[in-house]
């Protein structure tokens, strides 16, 4: 197995055993493929192999720093994130007379809790909140999270293993597109080659083969030999399938990425592919199959073009910071601070301190830090974008793009 960097904490023995089982499956696939797997096939197995992949074989990926998690998503940072998203969802539900919300890849279930709870507070809880989830382990975690946090709404939630042939809904996808397998392209003096995975001794390594595939942006042709980049056929196929099935509604995707002219800029000549393990970004995406997340930034231009070609309208595109502020995040922050810290049982000195905290106390510091991360230009505020795709819905319902819309940059 690829050598562990000394700076990384070692996985637990059971986790290493699961990774070894997945590695055996990958070696069998390599043998069946003549000794070479295209990278998207490797990534599919590493993330989604039944019972062994990163998202299908464990449940501890999401969480705060200092935990055994690997990364933090916005709903884990602050419940204000989901409540703000819910303000946009509520407006679409009401103006378009829709009664269903569909969330892809609901992770820990926190976004579903936040959106459902806020919609209920606003008086427009949907008849149905459907979660499309491939991981059985995460389904159990989501069900438990919802049952604890919003038990009076839990009967509105159902899990879909696949999309129905036709449906009307507001669709949510937070950090979904970045987790879809990508193809890797490597620039050689003679042109582009496809990068895949092979085996040398006990290690998995990269190997390139001739291909007719090309990056979609012309400026990528000027990248020097040695450059590596990604293309996104799986994400675009997903968008086309969504377009076929969504009869009427809006899909909001929130993810890190760029428009195409930035994605294939010469400064990004080594691509965006990374692995994430214990809140560390790894360049070695072949280390510990199934134990590290693997992601690539989203090409939002390709997403928009695929949606348009499949008959959806591009209703808005902006930064996460613009979207959240347009939807009233700062108003929610003011309400939260005016209400004071949440009540706690005074069973300890620490609890008593928190219960009597004044502005500037730990509760406010945590909320302020979370909001700064959600909005900060050097944090998630600018790196993350929001794109709205839809059919049969008035764009005026999407106040999240009222200021700072960047659709013209796609």
Give me the CATH number covering residue 185: 3.40.50.12710
Residue 204 covered by a domain: yes
pLDDT grade for 357, boundaries at 50, 70 and 90: very low
Mean pLDDT over the full length of the chain: 90
pLDDT at 337: 80
pLDDT grade for 365, boundaries at 50, 70 and 90: confident
pLDDT digits (tens, 9 = 90+) for 383-396: 999 999 999 999 99
What letter does residue 151 receive in the DSSP assignment? G
Residue 375 covered by a domain: no
Stated pTM of the model: 0.91
pLDDT at 280: 77
| Beta-sheet strands, E only, within 259-397 | 274-277, 280-282, 293-295, 298-299, 313-319, 384-391
Residue 1 covered by a domain: no
- Residue 61 confidence (pLDDT) above 70: no
Rounded to a whole number of angstroms, the distance between the first and last alpha carbons of the chain is 41
Residue 351 covered by a domain: no
pLDDT at 336: 82
Average pLDDT, integer, range 136-141: 89
Average pLDDT, integer, range 13-22: 93
pLDDT grade for 367, boundaries at 50, 70 and 90: confident
Average pLDDT, integer, range 116-137: 95
Residue 2 covered by a domain: no
pLDDT at 71: 64
Contact of 326 with 404, CB cutoff 8 Å: yes
Report percent pLDDT > 90 for the chain. Answer: 80
Residue 408 covered by a domain: no
pLDDT at 41: 98
- Residue 358 confidence (pLDDT) above 80: no
Q: In Å, what is the CA distance from 99 to each residue of 90, 135, 249?
A: 10, 26, 10
Instruction: Name beta bridge partners: 249.
Output: 169, 391
- Residue 324 confidence (pLDDT) above 90: yes
Contact of 277 with 291, CB cutoff 8 Å: yes
- Residue 349 confidence (pLDDT) above 80: no
pLDDT at 65: 44
Distance CA 86, CA 172 (A): 10
Average pLDDT, integer, range 365-377: 90
pLDDT at 203: 92
Distance CA 180, CA 32 (A): 23
Q: Which domain holds residue 190?
A: 14-334+384-400
Lowest mean pLDDT among 75-79, 98-102, 220-224, 366-370: 366-370
- Residue 127 confidence (pLDDT) above 70: yes
| Beta-sheet strands, E only, within 15-70 | 37-38
| Residue 299 main-chain phi, psi, to 5 deg | -90, 95
- Residue 302 confidence (pLDDT) above 80: yes
Of 115, 122, 84, residue with least CA distance to 336: 84
Q: Dmax of the chain from CA atoms? A: 70
Burial call 55-86: b when 16+ CB within 10 Å, e when fewer: bbbbbebbbeeeeebbbbbbbbbbbbbbbbbb
Residue 215 covered by a domain: yes
Lowest mean pLDDT among 53-67, 68-82, 225-239, 331-345: 53-67
Instruction: Name beta bridge partners: 173.
Output: 104, 253
Question: Count of domains in the chain?
Answer: 1
- Residue 212 confidence (pLDDT) above 80: yes
pLDDT digits (tens, 9 = 90+) for 19-47: 999 999 999 999 999 999 999 999 999 99
Residue 370 covered by a domain: no
């Amino acid at each position: 197995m690829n050598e562990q960097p000394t700076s990384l904490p070692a996985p637990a023995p059971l986790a290493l055993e699961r990774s070894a089982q997945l590695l055996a499956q990958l070696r069998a696939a390599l043998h069946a493929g003549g000794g070479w797997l295209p990278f998207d096939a490797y990534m599919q197995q590493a993330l989604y192999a039944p019972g062994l992949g990163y998202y299908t074989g464990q449940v501890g990926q999401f969480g705060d720093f200092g935990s055994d998690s690997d990364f933090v998503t916005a709903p884990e940072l602050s419940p204000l994130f989901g409540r703000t998203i819910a303000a946009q969802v509520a407006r679409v539900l009401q103006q378009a007379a829709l009664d269903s919300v569909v969330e892809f890849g609901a992770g820990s279930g926190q976004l579903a809790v936040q959106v459902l709870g806020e919609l209920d507070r606003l008086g427009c809880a949907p008849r149905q909140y459907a979660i499309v989830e491939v991981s059985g382990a995460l389904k159990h975690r989501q069900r438990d999270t919802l049952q604890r946090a919003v038990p009076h709404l839990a009967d509105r939630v159902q899990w879909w293993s696949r999309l129905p042939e036709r449906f009307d809904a507001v669709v949510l996808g937070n950090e979904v597109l970045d987790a879809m397998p990508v193809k890797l392209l490597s620039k050689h003096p003679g042109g582009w080659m496809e990068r895949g995975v092979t085996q040398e001794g006990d290690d998995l390594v990269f190997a390139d083969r001739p291909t007719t595939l090309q990056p979609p942006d012309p400026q990528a042709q000027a990248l020097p030999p040695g450059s590596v980049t990604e293309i996104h056929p799986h994400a675009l196929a997903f968008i086309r399938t969504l377009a076929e099935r969504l009869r009427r509604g809006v899909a909001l995707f929130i993810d890190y990425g760029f428009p195409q002219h930035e994605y294939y800029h010469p400064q990004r000549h080594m691509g965006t592919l990374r692995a994430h393990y214990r809140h560390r970004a790894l360049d070695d995406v072949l280390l510990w199959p199934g134990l590290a997340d693997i992601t690539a930034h989203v090409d939002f231009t390709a997403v928009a073009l695929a949606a348009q070609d499949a008959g959806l309208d591009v209703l808005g595109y902006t930064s996460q910071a613009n979207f959240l502020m347009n939807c009233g995040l700062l108003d929610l922050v003011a309400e939260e601070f005016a209400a004071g810290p949440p009540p706690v049982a005074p069973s300890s000195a620490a609890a008593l301190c928190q219960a009597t905290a004044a502005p500037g106390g730990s509760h406010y510091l945590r909320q302020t830090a979370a909001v700064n991360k959600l909005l900060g230009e050097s944090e998630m505020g600018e790196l993350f974008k929001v794109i709205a795709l839809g059919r049969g819905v008035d764009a005026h319902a999407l106040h999240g793009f009222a200021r700072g819309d960047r659709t013209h940059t796609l």
